[in-house]
A and B are shown apart, each in its own frame.
Chain A
Amino acid sequence: MSLLSVQGLSVAIRGDDGVLHELVSAVSFDIAAGETMGLVGESGCGKSLTAMSILDLLPKPQALRSAGTLSFKGESISSASPRRLREIRGKNIAVIFQDPMTALNPVQTVSQQISEVLAIHFPEQSKKCRADRVLSLLHEVGIPAPQERLSAYPHQLSGGMRQRVMIAMALACEPDLLIADEPTTALDVTIQAQIVRLLKGLQAKNGMAMLFITHDLALVSQVSDKIAVMYAGKIAEYGSAQQVFAKPHHPYTQSLLAALPGAHHPPKSPLLALEGQVPAIQDMPKGCRFVNRCPHAADICREEIPPQDITTDATVVACHRWKEIAQ
């Protein structure tokens, strides 16, 4: 049984005119215990909304989960009471956010913010016990001189250190699932590698599953067991990372991988870019949402929503013509 199962999830945003716009549409995926699932897509494709809707952290009242069921360890969390949801948050499912500069409270010390999670979920713990745990967590996430950092405020730490504090906070209760929403986007590349290595190491040690959200294909290929490629609020392709990268079926995945600048390209060769733009939410095509940029678009693509086909490689692809393209 999967740890987290997302079925037919849709997220809608209420516009200024009061009309609901579906930004995420019928997204389904499963995460097994201990597994890493990578959710990739370009900015605005709905990957963060998907992730935030799992714990109902959507910005309210504008955004809401309009359809779908979520079950965590067999328990439905899409219909869970707010109290039950609060128990799960931080304890069973933890989140680290994109921007460590703003995700920490500027007027509380590092130790206050980490021990707060422990205080919420383990109120019976003694203060001493909590303080020890905070210190060992800081040590675990590789913060140098953790004892001195306890009383530091976020503004006294670098971006990488803050993200480590966020990770320590997320790991405090040893969650079963960690949602990492672009955890390295705001950091520079060397720090990025350190953070990813740290997350991988901690994951192996604690046996937790991870939902890793990023727009960085190279990064996702390093960390993920499974991968879901999102385009304009829908999953275009979903399967084992190895299969998706080795043999992409969806034209969008194919063009994404082709656009990756690699070391084997000659210097100063022009960057490949996908032509066109994601259609605006008001004028989404009736059929496949990728139709206006797809080199293989046919009439059927304009008219009908592509079904989720299971390919010969056991990946799921949402394309009318994947078989023809493969040939």
Chain B
Amino acid sequence: MTGYFVRRFLLIIPTFIGITLLVFAITRVVPGGPIERLMTQIQLGGETGALHRSQGGGTLSDEQLDELKRYYGFDKPMLSSYAIWLKKVVQFDLGLSTRYQDPVWQIIKERFPISIFYGLTTLILTYVVCIPLGLAKGMYHGSALDSWSSAVVFLGYALPSYVIGIALISLFAGYWDIFPLGGFISDNYDDLSTFGKAADIFHHSVLPLIAYLAGSFAVTTLMMKNSLMDNLSSDYMRTATAKGLSRGESVRGHALRNSLIPVATSFGNNISLLLGGSFLIETIFNIDGIGLLGYEAIIERDYPIVMGILVISSLLYLIGNILSDICVALVDPRIRFGGRGAA
């Protein structure tokens, strides 16, 4: 089994190269790259103050163009510039943002705590709510609790998160003024006590968290419920009853672990939510997270940042998949990875 997971970890390398190479190639062929943008800006004689290489108005000379190409690494063939990029990545150097001229790693790192905070809270709350709720719905299928919670969960699932976000802001920040309009912390954050800081973050995060969570309950809750109901009608549950267990005891002792198997399988997908962050919600609530950063980087053709976020999210996703395999193996003894002839 250890051998299997070592192999899986080694497989990350070729997969990672595949993903990054593909996106790298796309950045090369997609029109509207940094040089083209610069050229249009210069041609239009727009804001050029920040661009020290421009001479204001007119076009760029060939030498300048070559210099720019060298600067952005477009002078070499794609594969060799990819190799240069990859070599830097291995040394934990993600390059410089073409927009901010700051190291990409630095820019991403600044947004990490915010995204991790929302990602982790969403992940934990999803499981804390969905597993017990799914169990209760499964055990009391057809009850008022079941019907009403289904209605609420599906409503949240059906409404786009930005609609919920805007509705929440208009109601609770605009109309009633209970929660702040946006941001992650207050301006006077540094002056607050530890408790005050926590309260401040909580105060700011309630609305975005609701917007994040509203749509995330349906899938896991329903998966938990259906899985439990499948197991409740299984033969081994009848065996458990025949042994003399009460319904509650047999659900806890027998059905629970069996019904967690599909939920454990989906854990790997959810772990990538850690960094995902919806740029729509981040925009609405004015949160400076990774989602917004990635979106702006794509719009602005800030390729080093796009690639930097890709590196981190693809690694997280690949590791998440292995983690979910480990989870499944922990829950289900029938799953034994690797080993010759094993299932």
Contacts and interface: CB of A to CB of B under 8 A. Distances in A.
Nearest to A94: B242
Interface stretch (A9-17, A85-93, A247-255): A85-93
Given A102-B236, A103-B236, A105-B236, A95 B254 contact: no
A120 B243 contact: yes
Given A103-B235, A155-B334, A108 B254 contact: yes
A99 interface: yes
B246 A105 contact: no
A106 B236 contact: yes
Given A102-B235, A153-B333, A55 B242 contact: yes
A97 B333 contact: no
B332 interface: yes
Interface string A74-110: 0000000010001111110011010100111111110
Contacts, number: 71
Contact of A89 (B242, B332, B334): B242
B87 interface: no
Residue of B235, B241, B243, B334 with most chain A CB atoms under a 10 A cut-off: B243
B288 to A, nearest CB: 45
A307 B283 CA distance: 82
A116 B333 CA distance: 19
Interface residues of B, number: 22
Contacts of B241: 57, 89
B238 interface: yes
Interface string B235-272: 11011111111100000011001100000000000000
B254 to A, nearest CB: 5
B242 A107 contact: no
A95 B332 CA distance: 26
Contacts of B245: 86, 116, 120
A117 B244 contact: yes
A120 B238 contact: no
A86 B331 CA distance: 29
Given A104-B236, A106-B236, A108-B254, A116 B334 contact: no
Contacts of A23: none
A116 B253 CA distance: 10
B225 to A, nearest CB: 17
A169 interface: yes
A95 B242 contact: yes
Contacts of B238: 57, 97, 103
A44 interface: no
B253 A107 contact: no
A200 interface: no
Residue of A90, A94, A99 with most chain B CB atoms under a 10 A cut-off: A90
A109 B332 CA distance: 11
Contacts of A153: 333-334
Contacts of A108: 254
A57 B331 CA distance: 28
B273 to A, nearest CB: 27
Interface in A230-250: none
Contact of A107 (B240, B243, B257, B343): B257
Contacts of B239: 95, 97, 103-105, 166, 169
Interface in B25-77: none
Residue of A57, A104, A109, A120 with most chain B CB atoms under a 10 A cut-off: A120
A124 B343 CA distance: 40
Contact of A105 (B233, B258, B331, B343): B258
A82 B250 CA distance: 14
Nearest to A86: B244
Given A99-B235, A102-B236, A116-B253, A107 B331 contact: yes
Given A57-B238, A59-B233, A106 B243 contact: no
A88 B238 CA distance: 15
Task: Give the top 8 A-B pairs by smallest Cβ distance, nearest first.
Answer: A90-B244, A102-B235, A89-B244, A90-B243, A95-B242, A105-B236, A103-B235, A153-B333
14 contacts: A57-B242, A59-B233, A82-B246, A86-B244, A89-B241, A90-B243, A90-B244, A97-B239, A102-B236, A105-B236, A107-B332, A109-B333, A117-B244, A153-B334
